[in-house]
Structure 1
Amino acid sequence: MPMKRIRYSELLMYFALSLGGLVSVLPMIYMLSTSLKPNGALYEYPPHFFPSKSNITVENYIYIFQQQKFYINFINSLLVSVLTVALAAAISASLAFCIARFRFPGRRMLFGLVIATMIIPGTALIVPQFELATFLHITNKLWGLIPFYVAWVIPFSTFMIKGFIEGIPRDFDEAVYMDGGSVFTVFRAIAVPLSGPAIASVSIFNFLTAWEEYPWALTVINDNAKRTLPIAIAGFFGEHQFTQWGYVFAMSVASLIPVLIIFICFQRYFVKGLQTGGIKG
């Protein structure tokens, strides 16, 4: 009887996981299948989830890749995302190292404030952020997006990296100090390399945040040449009197390529960083 219960529970678990995975993947499958349909086939009745062999076409991708603005918006998004990841990793790792390794007045309060900012909805800050951007004269500037994106992702990044650094034995720090190294040496030679999985995992999240962010970029960027890829995708809605869904989904599929590449390359760090940071944070 115990063996049967275990098997039934495992079957139920696998079924639930399979169902959840299917529900998660279906939108992407539909997006890919729709991008391979001609625009006229999208309004056929009855609708088909997958295109027939006669309707499969790559004309949507050809149209997208022939548009110069696609490459401009793609590069804009890539530039903003990469700089956001780099700056956020440097600032978050430094802040997490200080909180995890030093005891100073207000340490707990500082970390509490960092965590508290994680519960504030991003849309609630659009108005004060816009006033700040106007005061700093960084509206309608591509690089003006980066400071705000970095500020958004620092709390979560600090939380994850701090939990990882706390799991590093302090004996390593003492060994560096005994050899005449400074605190900067400990940070550079011990904390950063050993917390690499945590930094890599949060960097994936940070890249996704900057890559797919839409409301703030739409608010402060007016120049088409400075817009990011999500705004360019939204520009196809109603552009030709009705929405060209084939173009929309083709550009959406193309926008997933950098995300997939990054996740595949850093997958092992991503899983390890989440497990360790989540347990020890």
Structure 2
Amino acid sequence: MRKKRTALWMYVLLIAGMVIVVLPMVYMISTSLKPNGALYEYPPKFFPKLKEITLENYRYILSQGRFLRNFLNSVLVSVSTVALSAVVSSALAFCIARFRFPGRRFLFAFIILTMIIPGTTMIVPQYELAVKLHTINSIGGLIPFYTAWVIPYSTFMIKGFVENIPRELDEAAYIDGGNVFTVYFHVVLPLAKPGIASISIFNFLTAWEEFPWANTVINDDMKRTLPIAISGFFGQHQFTQWGYVFALSVFSLIPILIVFISCQKFFVKGLTAGSVKG
């Protein structure tokens, strides 16, 4: 009887959690199908009536070329950040996990230390650095900073995956005439792929959703990323055009869903594999 009650409460909690997670998304989609003025009607309606459903918000978004450009900017920045961080982090994690060199412990401690520094406290020095590097108001200027942000956490996590790979495989590669690069590219990377894929999901979300830094350094509407484009609707014409906001937000979910669906087979395996040792 006690087990049945425990199972019942477990299902209740799971259903409640699912409702909390799904409800905002359902509300976003339903609002995107309403006319802009319908949000302010009284009494408020969670779902629009069938005859009130309109695709006008989506037509407006698709008719504006700058939003497509903002979307592509976000894709470019996010994909580039994921690719660069995967290469740099995996190489750095491989060196820390497999080699003994002076300052190794200090380097790893420094990497961990950078993870606890709030990102907003670094905006001013980062802005000064961006000015010196002439990357202000440049899409390409976002990529190095995003990559630098995610490298510490990525290195910390990937190091755990690399340490779980038996060293005997490295030795076998060396005996067969391989070198360090052979071990890295043909032994470590294939076996650490689940971990790199799972970390890349978080890195993609970090770059895709980032707002403060992009809003600070990008001024040109055509060079802005999608979160900045969405924020542009707030306060326009003396009120927020929520229909446009949620329609554009729905479009912003598409790449996230694609990434999760593509990497889902690595996600759970990657999260658990690196948690044993690290």
- Bucket of the pairwise TM-score, normalised by the shorter protein: over 0.9
**Aligned partner of 2:215 among 218, 233, 256:** 218
2:99 pairs with 1:109: no
Map of 2:240 onto structure 1: 243
SS at match of 1:279: coil
2:205 pairs with 1:198: no
2:193 pairs with 1:187: no
**Aligned partner of 2:82 among 75, 80, 85:** 85
Map of 2:53 onto structure 1: 56
AA in 2 matched with 1:252: S
Task: Output one character per residue of 1:232-271: Cα deviation in whole Å (capped at 9) or x when no partner.
Answer: 1111112233211000000000010011011011112011
Contact 1:84 1:150 in 2 (8 A): yes
SS at match of 2:52: coil
2:271 pairs with 1:274: yes
Map of 2:146 onto structure 1: 149
Map of 1:175 onto structure 2: 172
TM-fit CA distance, 1:226 = 0.8
TM-fit CA distance, 1:6 = 2.4
2:15 pairs with 1:18: yes
TM-fit CA distance, 1:146 = 0.6
Identity of aligned residues (%): 68
Map of 2:38 onto structure 1: 41
Contact 1:41 1:55 in 2 (8 A): no
AA in 1 matched with 2:271: L
TM-fit CA distance, 1:17 = 2.1
AA in 2 matched with 1:68: G
Where do 5+ consecutive residues of structure 1 fail to align?
A: none
Q: Which runs of 4+ in 1 moved over 4 A?
A: none
SS at match of 1:13: helix
**Aligned partner of 1:132 among 129, 153, 175:** 129
SS at match of 1:157: helix
Map of 2:71 onto structure 1: 74
Contact 1:34 1:42 in 2 (8 A): yes
CA distance in 1, matches of 2:3, 2:182: 51
AA in 1 matched with 2:195: A
TM-fit CA distance, 1:14 = 2.3
